[in-house]
Amino acid sequence: MVDRVPFVDGGFSEFVRSLPKPPSLRRADDPLRAGSLLTCGQAVALYRVQVESRHVDLGARNLKKENKAFYTIGSSGHEGNAAVAAALRPTDPAFLHYRSGGFFLERAAQLGREDGAYAMLLGIVASSDEPIAGGRHKVFGHSEMAIPPQTSTIASHLPKAVGMAFGIGRAARLGLGTSSPADAIVVCTFGDASINHSTAQGAINAANWAAAQGQPVPVLFVCEDNGIGISVQTPHGWVHAANAARGGMLYAACDGLDLDQTFTVASELAERVRIERRPAMLHMRTVRLLGHAGSDNETVYRSLDEIEATEALDPLRTGARLLVECGAASPDQLLAMYEAERGRVHDLGRLASTRPKLTTAADVLKPLAPRDADAIAQEASRLGSEEERRRFWGDKLPEEQRPAGFAQHVNWALGDLLSLYPEAFLFGEDVAKKGGVYGVTRELVRRAKRGRVFDTLLDEQTILGLAIGFGHLGLLPFPEIQYLAYLHNAEDQLRGEAASLQFFSNGQYQNPMVVRIAGYGYQKGFGGHFHNDNSVSVLRDIPGLVIASPARGDDAAAQLRTCAAAARTGGSVCVFLEPIALYGERDLHAKGDGLWTAAYAPASPESHVAIGKGRVWRDGEHLTLVSWANGLWMSLRVAEKLEREHGIRCRVFDLRWLAPLPEAELLLHAQHTGRVLVVDETRKSGGVSEAILTALVDGGFEGKMRRVTSEDAFIPLGDAANLVLLQEEAIEAAALELSRGR
């Protein structure tokens, strides 16, 4: 593999030495050239940051050779992004591309910080001293620089950038304070290949869609276009052709090899975004030097001629030529600066490599999803003032209404939460005017203050991105995903982004949210797979995620409040699964028995349900049925029948939470009868029962265990659904077998 570092590094010095000396040097406060927004002094300072960024890249490669560094994706060739940072305010939230090192360092410099390069180097060596991720990843981020951390999933930060921009606008209209100034703009940077990703396309589209309706969306998309994504070339002119005239988005192109022009164009565009509160795209030309990463052998897909031609466009060379031609600096001064930065960064790299690393699993896990049960209990028990609630609900409060089913309880709890938290927002497809496809959110748009309950466009990635952005701002979002099946095309926003934020920011950033998802099977007379999805394993394996899965209205209301309280007090990311088939169910054993309704119990210490706390519905000594959601409803019916017809008495235990599972209680109730039947309406493979049985084994349970589940299938339309979904007959048969000792 050819190492191009000597050519880029040595080639730079050679190039600068060859520049003709300027006849005289200009003063620091002279404009760099006629019409420049930058003075000579500012241009030189900006250039120094670019040089610093380059030396961090070179330093990373040196440290890698000694096995002291773990990350060599650099910013070489992209240093023009320092001029974009200079055009913004340091309080403008920035979601950065992995080549935006210049941006990061310039923002540090703007704030008078001298530790920008050191922070990057600490990340490169994965030290626990690193200021954003604490050694968990090499990301650009800093809580004092308004730079939240990014994951490596390209483009996945764009939806949250749009969400944050939208949230800033919405909060400003409602007079709510947030973590960002009301006139902030949000910037996100990304590559030319990344722009093709559906996540990027969805985010850009969403910003334009909102802006087209006059909604403020002050987001600046910055495409750092080096013409290539790893080895795949971007068609010439593609970024321009696909974005220059798109929706109402402003668009401007700049040459990242010219720091002066980039600063001017970026400043003018940023100013328009700030004033007009409209989305804009800055298309910045860059080059990629030193390959995609240290391990990338560019010669496999690029000719040496091409590589050399690209190196000749090194922005440090073009920048040096500009400064020298304008008389802002002499070649000798620039060479001296280059070597001084090399030495300084080298020393910082050495120092960084001696700093501590994460040494225990407990340390790694610490910021993942902190939860304080007492704080949650206290917060979840808090009820808004009666006056406020009466203003929200009108004459009759929910507790003064007749007992009701699941959907109504969710509606009541959501209403109470909207009235309790002025910073709460409820949004999703069809949630506002229509009140949700099943009417769960009906009337809330009318009752809540304008703009707090709103319909989004049809894109689940955007819905979750909005929630993440709102969460960053300190707001409390309740996004709705219309059906579980449609979470799957957006789940990375939950898995890769939302759930990982506290982890990769060492607890410094939070994106609290309660994602309501309508799901599970058994919808009578409606459905097919996409409306009857029972696959939850994709949620269960997200570290730290809280999954509530209530079965009856009283639990639904209490658990929703618990989720909101966990989000509010600890930044928890919570998923609230709603069994569609039970939305309107009123009865349990017989038509008209009303046993699946409940009176509304408003927030109080008595009505609080802690995270991971299950519920015993029925006692018995012969057999323990373990279930949740529709499975619980069926289990209770079967238990009744078993007792009536066979004298078999079952204890029925409702998990209520699928993550974390109530493992200790589970064991206790299993031991009580010594026989456990897990009634799992999800899949046989990857379904929840796998975890339940494992928990019993891990807990040392030595009794008899069985499970009944649905089939590993997509759910067909009509009555055929019941051929693959778990049925009461199967539960009964298994229960009989188990209780007879087989």
Ligand X SMILES: Cc1ncc(C[n+]2csc(CCOP(=O)(O)OP(=O)(O)O)c2C)c(N)n1
Binding site for ligand X (CB under 6 A): 99, 152-154, 191-194, 224, 226, 228-230, 288, 292
Would you say 220 or 566 has its CB closer to ligand X? 220
What token pair was written down for 713? 């299938």
Distance from the first to the final alpha carbon of the chain: 65
Would you say 143 or 153 has its CB closer to ligand X? 153
Which residue's CB comes closest to ligand X? 191
Tell me if residue 450 falls in helix, strand or coil.
coil
The distance of closest approach from Cβ of residue 121 to Mg ion in the complex, given in angstroms and rounded to an integer, is 24
CA angle 464, 466, 468 (to 5 degrees): 70
The distance of closest approach from Cβ of residue 389 to ligand X in the complex, given in angstroms and rounded to an integer, is 45
**Which region among 186-194, 294-302, 462-470, 513-521 touches Mg ion (by CB under 5 A)?**
186-194
313, containing H or E segment: none
Please state the three-class secondary structure of 25-82 as a single string: CCCCCCECCCCCCCEHHHHHHHHHHHHHHHHHHHHHHHHHHCCCCCCCCCCCCCCCHH
What token pair was written down for 97? 């591309």
Would you say 243 or 441 has its CB closer to ligand X? 243
Asked if residues 348 and 58 have their Cβ atoms less than 8 Å apart, the reply is: no
Would you say 256 or 620 has its CB closer to ligand X? 256
Q: Is 192 in the site for Mg ion (CB under 5 A)?
A: yes
**CB neighbours (10 Å) of residue 137?**
20
Would you say 150 or 456 has its CB closer to ligand X? 150
Q: Is 76 in the site for Mg ion (CB under 5 A)?
A: no
Q: How far apart are CA 464 and CA 99, in angstroms?
A: 25
Identify the CA nearest to 310 among candidates 48, 76, 10, 47.
Answer: 76
Would you say 226 or 441 has its CB closer to Mg ion? 226
Give one word for 647, left, alpha or beta, with left for phi > 0 and alpha for psi -120 to 50.
left
Would you say 292 or 561 has its CB closer to ligand X? 292
Q: Residue 206: name its binding partner from Mg ion, ligand X, none (Cβ under 5 to 8 Å by kind).
A: none
In the block, tokens 């320092």 appear at 82
Would you say 228 or 487 has its CB closer to Mg ion? 228
Q: Residue 153: name its binding partner from ligand X, Mg ion, none (Cβ under 5 to 8 Å by kind).
A: ligand X
Q: Residue 379: name its binding partner from ligand X, Mg ion, none (Cβ under 5 to 8 Å by kind).
A: none
The distance of closest approach from Cβ of residue 513 to ligand X in the complex, given in angstroms and rounded to an integer, is 22
What token pair was written down for 581? 């088939």
Would you say 223 or 611 has its CB closer to Mg ion? 223
**Which region among 190-198, 295-303, 637-645, 728-736 touches Mg ion (by CB under 5 A)?**
190-198
Q: Residue 79: name its binding partner from Mg ion, ligand X, none (Cβ under 5 to 8 Å by kind).
A: none
**CB neighbours (10 Å) of residue 275?**
11
What token pair was written down for 631? 């499975």
H-state helical runs in 600-727: 629-646, 663-673, 688-698, 721-724
Asked if residues 287 and 81 have their Cβ atoms less than 8 Å apart, the reply is: no
Q: Is 226 in the site for Mg ion (CB under 5 A)?
A: yes
The distance of closest approach from Cβ of residue 229 to ligand X in the complex, given in angstroms and rounded to an integer, is 3
The distance of closest approach from Cβ of residue 225 to ligand X in the complex, given in angstroms and rounded to an integer, is 8
The distance of closest approach from Cβ of residue 105 to ligand X in the complex, given in angstroms and rounded to an integer, is 17
Q: Is 191 in the site for Mg ion (CB under 5 A)?
A: yes
What token pair was written down for 553? 């209205």
Q: Is 79 in the site for Mg ion (CB under 5 A)?
A: no
What token pair was written down for 121? 């180097």
Q: Residue 717: name its binding partner from Mg ion, ligand X, none (Cβ under 5 to 8 Å by kind).
A: none
Identify the CA nearest to 73 among candidates 150, 185, 163.
Answer: 150
Which residue's CB comes closest to Mg ion? 191
Identify the CA nearest to 244 among candidates 210, 215, 204.
Answer: 204
The distance of closest approach from Cβ of residue 285 to ligand X in the complex, given in angstroms and rounded to an integer, is 12
Identify the CA nearest to 635 among candidates 567, 691, 552, 573.
Answer: 552
Identify the CA nearest to 436 among candidates 427, 424, 448, 446.
Answer: 427
**CB neighbours (10 Å) of residue 714?**
14
Q: Which of residues 228-267 bind Mg ion (CB under 5 A)?
A: 228-229
Q: How far apart are CA 417 and CA 374, in angstroms?
A: 19
Kindly give the pairing relationship between strand 675-680 and strand 623-627. parallel
The distance of closest approach from Cβ of residue 123 to ligand X in the complex, given in angstroms and rounded to an integer, is 17
Q: How far apart are CA 445 and CA 449, in angstroms?
A: 8
Would you say 287 or 623 has its CB closer to Mg ion? 287
Would you say 74 or 550 has its CB closer to ligand X? 74
Q: Residue 154: name its binding partner from ligand X, Mg ion, none (Cβ under 5 to 8 Å by kind).
A: ligand X
Q: Residue 398: name its binding partner from Mg ion, ligand X, none (Cβ under 5 to 8 Å by kind).
A: none
Would you say 292 or 540 has its CB closer to ligand X? 292
The distance of closest approach from Cβ of residue 228 to Mg ion in the complex, given in angstroms and rounded to an integer, is 5
Q: Residue 152: name its binding partner from ligand X, Mg ion, none (Cβ under 5 to 8 Å by kind).
A: ligand X
**Which region among 193-201, 214-222, 331-339, 698-706 touches Mg ion (by CB under 5 A)?**
193-201
The distance of closest approach from Cβ of residue 229 to Mg ion in the complex, given in angstroms and rounded to an integer, is 5
Q: Residue 523: name its binding partner from Mg ion, ligand X, none (Cβ under 5 to 8 Å by kind).
A: none
The distance of closest approach from Cβ of residue 428 to ligand X in the complex, given in angstroms and rounded to an integer, is 24
CA angle 264, 269, 274 (to 5 degrees): 125
Tell me if residue 654 falls in helix, strand or coil.
strand
The distance of closest approach from Cβ of residue 388 to Mg ion in the complex, given in angstroms and rounded to an integer, is 52
Radius of gyration of the chain (CA): 29
The distance of closest approach from Cβ of residue 109 to ligand X in the complex, given in angstroms and rounded to an integer, is 22
Would you say 163 or 229 has its CB closer to Mg ion? 229
Report the interface residues with Mg ion, using CB under 5 A: 191-193, 226, 228-229
